């Protein structure tokens, strides 16, 4: 896109003057974005995929557990017992720098092609450049992307770096590693940034603390779980700011942003004072949340037989209006199955079985929330909420809001099938 605004024109001019990635920066990317691999064959011979040389290995178990050092190039290797002869990987690499008062986030795509018996071949090129002004205004430049159903980061290497009008999910990059020689604008340090991204994409963190004082306050106060949750969800921080200020005033660190938000919503439903520290700063958040949810369920149960019969019909109609396009959506990895809840009754059954607030807090009436149930052999194990506006997993909760041993696997399964959800949105 041709730059139109003054800031776009300035950024395009400055970006053209950025230096090319240096050899030292390339070497750091090649060394730290990927774990060097030593491939062990059936006869115990190990091949270094970095230099291509081989040698006879020693103790198979110790080398598999602890790795080994290549006697030819000195690289510390992770030993894999496999028949594979080709190891291809891609990763993102970040360089943080400044230019004329802007914070510049440069992201590079790094490709590794390692073949048994040959030296490793690496390739790197810049794909996204994000420029952030001290007031949080920003401009994104990137290469063009190819069109594919399952991928959104098929960068066209020989396309020019151009200003992009809209932010896209493909620009929200959390790099595998960042070059250690970094430079940050003074405003970031002033607003509480100390070098730790707390698993938040750098662009999201920087723009938030530069443009929105509540996020700056959360960072400075060490409210990292709440900051992380608010930036990853579609929740409006202004709705919870009065209660958050009570937590800040009493030095209460919220251990789980998603549970605390649900807890506050439940307190409001029960008519409790969410400006009272006794409520909003519980010593044990999980227990307080469960007690509040139990009270809410009790109230709902008293009204359920009569009132709910009248309102559920309208709610069912509204839920179908909001989410009918997603009905029938399900996927599995062969062990765990995930499917969309298709009625208000299913929300009720899910909440009752899992002892959480997916029904009590009326998730079926939230336009931006898509709720799915993960099962193992037909038994519910976790309930997953996806934010449709951001196409990411907001939370995944097992019974009593506890994570199960399948938690990471469920989230990975939902993320890998996010294109199916995206397809239903635009169907």
Q: What is the pLDDT of residues 71-96, one digit of tens each?
A: 888 888 888 888 888 999 999 999 99
How many angstroms separate the CA atoms of 51 and 335, rounded?
39
Q: Is the pLDDT of residue 151 over 80?
A: no
Q: Average pLDDT for residues 281-299, to the nearest whole number?
A: 92
Q: Average pLDDT for residues 330-337, to the nearest whole number?
A: 93
Tokens linked to 325: 């396009």
Among the residue ranges 1-5, 32-36, 204-208, 320-324, the one predicted with the least confidence is 1-5
Q: Is residue 288 part of a domain?
A: no
Which pLDDT tens digit goes with each residue over 107-140?
999 999 999 888 999 999 999 999 999 999 999 9
Model pLDDT, residue 306: 61
How many angstroms separate the CA atoms of 172 and 166, rounded?
12
Distance of CA 142 to the CA centre of its chain: 21
Does residue 224 sit in the same domain as residue 330? Answer: no
The CATH number for 406's domain is 3.40.630.30
Does residue 50 sit in the same domain as residue 137? Answer: yes
Q: Is the pLDDT of residue 4 over 80?
A: yes
Q: Is the pLDDT of residue 308 over 60?
A: no
Q: Is residue 267 part of a domain?
A: no
Complete DSSP assignment for 111-146: EEEEETTS--EEEEEEEEEEEE-TTS-EEEEE--B-
Does residue 153 sit in the same domain as residue 17? Answer: yes
Tokens linked to 414: 């939902």
Model pLDDT, residue 315: 82
Model pLDDT, residue 313: 66
Does residue 22 sit in the same domain as residue 76? Answer: yes
Q: Average pLDDT for residues 400-427, to the nearest whole number?
A: 90
Q: Average pLDDT for residues 30-47, to the nearest whole number?
A: 88
Contact (CB, 8 A) for 184 and 99: no
Q: Is residue 201 part of a domain?
A: no
Q: Vertex 417, ends 412 and 419: CA angle to 5°?
A: 135
Q: Is the pLDDT of residue 182 over 90?
A: yes
Q: Average pLDDT for residues 9-30, to the nearest whole number?
A: 93
Q: Is the pLDDT of residue 305 over 60?
A: no
Q: Is residue 205 part of a domain?
A: no
Does residue 335 sit in the same domain as residue 419? Answer: yes
The total domain count for the chain is 3
Model pLDDT, residue 309: 54
Q: Average pLDDT for residues 55-79, to the nearest whole number?
A: 82
Does residue 217 sit in the same domain as residue 164? Answer: no
Pairwise pLDDT comparison (173 vs 368), residue with the higher score: 368
- 277 C-beta neighbours (distance < 10 Å), count: 14
Model pLDDT, residue 43: 84
- What is the residue-averaged pLDDT of the chain? 89
Q: Average pLDDT for residues 2-25, to the nearest whole number?
A: 91
How many angstroms separate the CA atoms of 148 and 152, rounded?
7
Tokens linked to 292: 């509040």
Q: Is residue 90 part of a domain?
A: yes
Q: Is residue 194 part of a domain?
A: no
Model pLDDT, residue 109: 94
How many angstroms separate the CA atoms of 164 and 171, rounded?
10
Q: Average pLDDT for residues 348-370, to the nearest whole number?
A: 88
Does residue 253 sit in the same domain as residue 340? Answer: no
Model pLDDT, residue 41: 87
Within 8 A by CB and 6+ apart from 153, the residues are 109, 127, 145, 170
Within 8 A by CB and 6+ apart from 241, the residues are 214
How many angstroms separate the CA atoms of 73 and 82, rounded?
22
**Lookup result for tokens 């970031």:** 188
Whole-model pTM?
0.65
Tokens linked to 419: 């294109």
Distances in whole angstroms, Cα of residue 280 to Cα of each of 155, 227, 252, 258, 329: 46, 17, 9, 14, 37
Q: Is residue 273 part of a domain?
A: no
Model pLDDT, residue 61: 75
Tokens linked to 365: 């009436």
Contact (CB, 8 A) for 8 and 131: no
How many angstroms separate the CA atoms of 225 and 253, rounded?
9
Name the residue range of residue 365's domain: 318-425
In percent, the amount of the chain with pLDDT more than 70 equals 95
Q: Average pLDDT for residues 243-269, to the nearest whole number?
A: 95
Tokens linked to 156: 């066209």
Q: Is residue 335 part of a domain?
A: yes
Contact (CB, 8 A) for 154 and 146: yes
């Amino acid at each position: 896109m041709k730059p139109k605004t003054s800031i776009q024109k300035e950024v395009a001019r400055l970006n053209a003057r950025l230096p090319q990635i240096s050899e030292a920066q390339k070497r750091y990317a090649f060394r730290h974005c990927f774990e060097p691999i030593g491939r062990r064959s059936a006869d115990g011979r190990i091949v270094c995929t970095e230099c291509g040389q081989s040698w006879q290995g020693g103790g198979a178990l110790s080398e598999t557990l602890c790795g080994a050092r290549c006697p030819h190039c000195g690289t510390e290797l992770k030993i894999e017992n496999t028949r594979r002869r080709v190891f291809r990987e891609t990763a993102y690499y970040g360089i943080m720098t400044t230019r004329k008062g802007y914070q510049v986030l440069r992201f590079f795509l790094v490709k590794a092609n390692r073949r048994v018996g040959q030296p490793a071949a690496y390739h790197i090129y810049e794909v996204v450049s994000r420029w952030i002004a001290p007031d949080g205004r920003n401009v994104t430049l990137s290469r063009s992307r190819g069109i594919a159903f399952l991928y959104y980061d098929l960068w066209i290497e020989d396309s020019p770096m151009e200003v992009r009008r809209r932010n896209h999910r493909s620009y929200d990059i959390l790099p595998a590693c960042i070059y250690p020689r970094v430079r940050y604008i003074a405003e970031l340090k002033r607003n509480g940034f100390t070098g730790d991204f707390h698993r938040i994409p750098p662009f999201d963190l920087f723009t938030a603390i530069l443009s929105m004082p509540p996020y700056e306050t959360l960072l400075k106060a060490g409210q990292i779980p709440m900051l992380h949750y608010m930036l990853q969800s579609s929740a409006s921080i202004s709705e919870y700011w009065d209660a958050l200020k009570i937590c800040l005033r009493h030095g209460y660190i919220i251990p789980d942003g998603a549970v605390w938000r649900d807890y506050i919503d439940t307190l409001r439903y029960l008519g409790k004072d969410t400006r009272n520290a006794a409520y909003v700063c519980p010593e044990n958040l999980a227990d307080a949340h469960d007690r509040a949810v139990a009270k809410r369920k009790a109230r709902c149960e008293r009204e359920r037989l009569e009132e709910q019969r009248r309102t559920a019909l309208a709610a069912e109609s509204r839920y179908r209006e909001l989410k009918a396009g997603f009905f029938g959506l399900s996927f599995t990895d062969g062990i765990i199955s995930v499917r969309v809840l298709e009625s208000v009754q299913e929300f009720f059954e899910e909440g009752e079985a899992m002892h959480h607030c997916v029904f009590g807090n009326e998730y079926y009436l939230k336009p931006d929330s898509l709720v799915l149930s993960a099962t193992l052999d037909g038994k519910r194990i976790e309930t997953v909420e996806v934010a449709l506006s951001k196409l990411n997993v907001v939370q995944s909760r097992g019974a009593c809001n506890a994570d199960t041993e399948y938690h990471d696997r469920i989230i990975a399964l939902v993320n890998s099938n996010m294109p199916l959800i995206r397809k239903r949105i635009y169907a």
